[in-house]
Amino acid sequence: MENALQPDAQHIVVLGAGLMGRLLSWRLAVAGHRVELFDAGGPGAEKSAARAAAAMLAPLAESAVTEPAVVQMGQYGLQRWPQLLSQLQSPVYFQQAGSLVLWHRQDAAEAAQFSRQLQATCRSIAGLPQPQALDAKGLAALEPTIDARFTQGIYLPDEGQLDNHQLLQALHQELQTLGVAMHWQTARNPQDFSPAPNSQGQPQWVFDCRGVGAQVQWSQVRGVRGEIITLHAPEVKLSRPIRLMHPRYPIYITPKPNGIFLIGATQIESDDNSAVSVRSALELLSAAYTVDSGFAEARIVNLVSQCRPALPDNLPSVRWLGERTLQINGLYRHGYLVAPAVLDAVLQLFESGASALAATFSLKIETTTS
């Protein structure tokens, strides 16, 4: 069933069908607009960071590596995701059972520093649940199969995750149902709609959600390589995301439905999208194995590398390119965490030219002519 176009329906083009592009197309089509969506890849989103991601929703854990604005957008996201998901025809796995932070003895100093950072975050941002220090008994009560060499941990209540593959598929289904015109394997850029949106023969609005693909027109966008491994391990019983302190980047094990675990993710300052390196695969797999030896018999389903779209300050940004083109980028390693806040702020901008939400979250709104 196609959507009923509203009397004031606008013709809107969305570039990029990754995370932001799909969400935005969906909400605009639900609101009764005529939406066209272009993507350089296919409906499976195989060229997007959205597909590679672990889709953890961890505002408190991420506060150690980001700004308060992202944490606050994450708090909003944790509330808003269930509302958004409940409007999809297909179910999407969403869990909010907290996450667990572990460390090897040699990383104890780093863990102490991490713990201090979390405490500071909780003092400065209202509404975050207090992290809880756990001893061996506490760990075993939460995750009985964790290796006995881990005798301490930190539990972060309320943190969540969702199944991004299910989400991308469910959004695709909604777009089909709503009659959104989807153009796959069709790369476009905002200049293809010249002289400008709303001129003769052009759509009235263009939204640019191309992630790293927007680099050609937004030179400050860069890619940050992430490598992630999918395992099938039906005998492993870990039930919530686990983060393992690591001197170079936090390694996580994220349980998904049907015995699937994502082990990720490296963070390398490079826009190299080539296959996963041996070193990264060894680090990720051995980390998983040390947490739960049940991973020994896991099957490697795939190894993926993909770049996260980032701006110089590693914060999301919305940019006006002329009067009717909005670019959304810089979601970096927090795309799923911040997407609902960014989505709702962009919709406010579209509807009224201003966004109270963007102001609340100090979401940058820039202007450029080139």
Ligand X SMILES: Cc1cc2nc3c(=O)[nH]c(=O)nc-3n(C[C@H](O)[C@H](O)[C@H](O)COP(=O)(O)OP(=O)(O)OC[C@H]3O[C@@H](n4cnc5c(N)ncnc54)[C@H](O)[C@@H]3O)c2cc1C
Cβ proximity to ligand X, 9 vs 301, nearer residue: 301
Q: Segment near ligand X (CB under 6 A), from 41-49, 121-129, 149-157, 361-369?
A: 41-49
Q: Segment near ligand X (CB under 6 A), from 127-135, 270-278, 333-341, 354-362?
A: 333-341
Assess 213 for contact with ligand X (CB under 6 A). yes
Cβ proximity to ligand X, 38 vs 218, nearer residue: 38
Binders in 56-95 for ligand X, by CB under 6 A: 56
Neighbours of 129 (CB within 10 A): 13
Number of shown-chain residues binding ligand X (CB under 6 A): 43
Q: Segment near ligand X (CB under 6 A), from 2-10, 48-56, 118-126, 145-153?
A: 48-56
Assess 264 for contact with ligand X (CB under 6 A). yes
**Does the N-terminal peptide bond of residue 316 adopt cis geometry, omega within 30 degrees of 0?**
no
Question: Token pair for residue 16?
Answer: 């990029």
C-alpha distances (whole Å) from 48 to each of 28, 161, 211, 231, 309 are: 21, 18, 8, 20, 10
Binders in 218-237 for ligand X, by CB under 6 A: 226, 228
Assess 203 for contact with ligand X (CB under 6 A). no
> Of the candidates 248, 363, 249, which has an alpha carbon nearest to the alpha carbon of residue 311?
363
State the binding string over 297-316 for ligand X (x if CB under 6 A, else -). ---------x-xx-------
Question: Which stretches does DSSP call E strand in the chain?
Answer: 11-15, 34-38, 56-57, 94-95, 99-102, 132-135, 152-156, 160-162, 181-183, 205-208, 222-232, 242-244, 251-256, 260-264, 299-310, 317-321, 325-329, 364-368
Judge contact between 44 and 51, C-beta under 8 A: yes
Assess 211 for contact with ligand X (CB under 6 A). yes
> Which of 12, 28, 29, 52 is the binder for ligand X (CB under 6 A)?
52
List, in order, residues 6 or more apart from 357 with CB less than 8 Å away: 341, 344, 345, 348, 363
Cβ proximity to ligand X, 44 vs 144, nearer residue: 44
Q: Report, in Å, the least distance between residue 138 CB and ligand X.
A: 25
Q: Segment near ligand X (CB under 6 A), from 45-53, 86-94, 106-114, 268-276?
A: 45-53
> Of the candidates 367, 308, 319, which has an alpha carbon nearest to the alpha carbon of residue 19?
308
Cβ proximity to ligand X, 56 vs 171, nearer residue: 56
> Of the candidates 218, 226, 187, 205, which has an alpha carbon nearest to the alpha carbon of residue 317?
218
Q: Which residue lies nearest ligand X, judged by its C-beta?
A: 18
> Which of 13, 17, 263, 315 is the binder for ligand X (CB under 6 A)?
17
Assess 19 for contact with ligand X (CB under 6 A). yes
d(CA 43, CA 41): 7
Cβ proximity to ligand X, 10 vs 164, nearer residue: 164
Question: Token pair for residue 193?
Answer: 């709609």
Assess 98 for contact with ligand X (CB under 6 A). no
Assess 250 for contact with ligand X (CB under 6 A). no
d(CA 180, CA 203): 14
> Which of 12, 14, 35, 49 is the binder for ligand X (CB under 6 A)?
49
Q: Report, in Å, the least distance between residue 6 CB and ligand X.
A: 25
> What 3-state class would DSSP assign to 90?
coil
Q: Report, in Å, the least distance between residue 194 CB and ligand X.
A: 15
What stretch of H or E contains 115? helix 108-124
Assess 55 for contact with ligand X (CB under 6 A). yes
> Of the candidates 297, 295, 180, which has an alpha carbon nearest to the alpha carbon of residue 238?
295
> Of the candidates 107, 145, 115, which has an alpha carbon nearest to the alpha carbon of residue 132?
115
> Which of 169, 177, 189, 202 is the binder for ligand X (CB under 6 A)?
189
Cβ proximity to ligand X, 17 vs 206, nearer residue: 17
**Backbone torsion region of residue 41, taken as left when φ is above 0, otherwise alpha when ψ lies between -120 and 50, otherwise beta:** beta
Site of interaction with ligand X (CB under 6 A): 15-21, 38-41, 45, 47-50, 52-56, 187-189, 209-211, 213, 226, 228, 264-265, 306, 308-309, 329, 331-337
